[in-house]
Amino acid sequence: MRKRATGSAPETSSQPIEGSGLSGSHRGASAQGRGRHGRHSALNSGGTPGTAPASAPSARGCGGCAKIAGAALILLVLIAIAGVAIGRQLLLKPEVEVAAGQPVHVSVASGATTAEIGEQLAGLGVIDSALMFRYKARDLGVDGDLKPGEYDLSTGMPYEMVLDALTEGPPILTIDVTIPEGFTARQVAERFAAQAGVPADQMLALVTSGASQFAVGRPYLTRAHNGSLEGFLFPATYTVKPGVTAPEVVEMMLEHFDSQVATLDTSFAQSRGMELYDVVTIASILEREAQLPEEFPLVSSVIYNRLAKPMRLQLCATVLYTMPPGTTSLTTDDLDEDSPYNTYIHDGLPVGPISNPGLAALQAAANPADTGYYYYVLTGADGSQTFTRTYDEFLAAKASSEVRGN
């Protein structure tokens, strides 16, 4: 056999060797495949091998769009600003040119909406803009709370001030009726009829014969002569609304009487066997017999002293009470007139009060001065009287007064 020449190619093994050319061939194929893939990508982008990616032209296009969008945004902002300015001008522009501060009477109808009220107020020049008025009403949370009624406003008022007035409501109209001390029930009825519009016939009927309607809780009214409320219609200034009724007025006056006599100390009168009704009767006489309140306790002492003696009161005021209105002097026949009020012919107090006394007279009637007087006579030009213990002193004082022309 021939020997193999040195340097000849060695025999290859049938087993693969790790890291052999097969693996290298695989990597080459992969690389080749990546090359093809790269070329495919380049072609798909519209370029040629070795050129820049196709995304560069897209970036330049988006920049132009941004400029357009920014310009549009600025334009929208400018339009919005102009809209606000125009709207503000419309809200603030007066709908009626009128000088501020002029009085305006406004009648807001029942059921009127805020918009309708705003139009009315703007039309009268009270506010500048109905739109702004409605906006303010909503902003303050009073939309729908505006009250109907009569208002005295003025032109050019601030919105807040107008809304405050309308939410508070119109001022309540009232009437003040003053009843002086010593008024009779008839005079009380006439005054309320004249000043407050209370029906005269209803008022007169109640105060002269309607005591039973108000007697619940008022035991003193059980003695009311012929149902008269004379003596219990307390004199004061009463504030009433238009349309007040006669029963409402009487109830109000009786409640005031009750509150006043609640503080009255009647212990002395009770020790003399008198009830509140008797105290009121004496007080009603004081209002008619004395012109000066400071003399109330003295006249009261004369009444108490005569009742205790006993001695008829013989008081002119009790006779005048039954005379026609306006009578100022009495005749002998008048003094003999048979009336339950006539203290010239009847013993004791008259059957009931002859006027409506105030608190000073009630206090004097409940607590008279401690005197020995039985008589008094008008002697002073100021209405003052002279008080005496005896009839002779009375005659002397009367004569002296006549000489002086009093």
Q: Can you say how many angstroms the Cα of residue 184 is from the centroid of all Cα atoms in its chain?
A: 34
The pLDDT value recorded for residue 132 is 94
Percent of the chain with pLDDT over 90: 72
pLDDT the model gives residue 63 = 62
φ and ψ at 193, to 5 degrees? Answer: -65, -40
pLDDT score of 349: 98
Last residue of a domain, one of 242, 263, 284: 263
CA distance 338 to 360: 31
Residues 37-58 have a mean pLDDT of 43
Residue 91 lies inside a defined structural domain of this protein = no
Mean pLDDT across 71-86: 69
Residue 24 placed within a domain: no
pLDDT tens profile 177-220: 999 999 999 999 999 999 999 999 999 999 999 999 999 999 99
pLDDT digits (tens, 9 = 90+) for 355-373: 999 999 999 999 999 999 9
Check whether residue 310 and residue 342 sit in a common domain.
yes
Structure tokens at 185: 């029930």
Find the helix or strand (DSSP H, E) in which 175 lies: strand 175-178
Residues 368 and 285 in one domain: yes
Q: In whole angstroms, what is the distance from residue 50 CA to residue 35 CA?
A: 12
Shared domain for 368 and 280, answered yes or no, is yes
Q: What is the mean pLDDT of residues 385-397?
A: 97
Structurally, the chain folds into a number of domains equal to 3
> Looking at the structure, do residues 145 and 241 belong to the same domain, yes or no?
no
H/E segment holding residue 154: strand 149-154
pLDDT at residue 404 in the model: 66
Summarised one tens digit per residue, pLDDT across range 243-258 is: 999 999 999 999 999 9
**CA 319 – CA 329 distance, rounded (Å):** 10
Structural domain contains residue 84: no
50 has pLDDT over 70: no
CATH of the domain at 120: 3.30.1490.480
Q: What is the pTM of this model?
A: 0.68
What average pLDDT score do residues 262-282 get? 97
Q: Where are the alpha helices (DSSP H) in 16-155?
A: 21-44, 55-92, 114-124, 130-139
In a domain? residue 12: no
Tell me what pLDDT residue 62 has: 61
Q: Write out the residue range of the structural domain in which residue 351 sits.
A: 264-373
The three-class DSSP label of residue 15 is coil
pLDDT tens-digit series, residues 229-248: 999 999 999 999 999 999 99
- 124 and 179 together in one domain: no
Query: In this predicted structure, which of 5-14, 127-136, 199-208 has the lowest mean pLDDT?
Result: 5-14
Tell whether the model's pLDDT for residue 8 goes beyond 60: no
Note whether 376 and 299 are within 8 A (CB): yes
Claim to verify: residue 251 and residue 275 sit in the same structural domain: no
Is the residue at 381 inside a domain?
Answer: no
Q: What does the pLDDT average to over 77-96?
A: 60
Looking at the structure, do residues 286 and 361 belong to the same domain, yes or no? yes
pLDDT at residue 65 tops 90: no
Give buried/exposed letters for 133-151 (b at 16+ CB in 10 A, else e). Answer: bbebbeeeeebeebeebeb
Average pLDDT, the chain: 85
Q: Residue 263: what pLDDT?
A: 93
Asked if the structure places residue 71 within a domain, the reply is: no
122 is a domain residue:
yes
Please report whether residue 94 resides in a domain.
Answer: no
* pLDDT of res. 76: 77
pLDDT of residue 64: 66
pLDDT at 149: 93
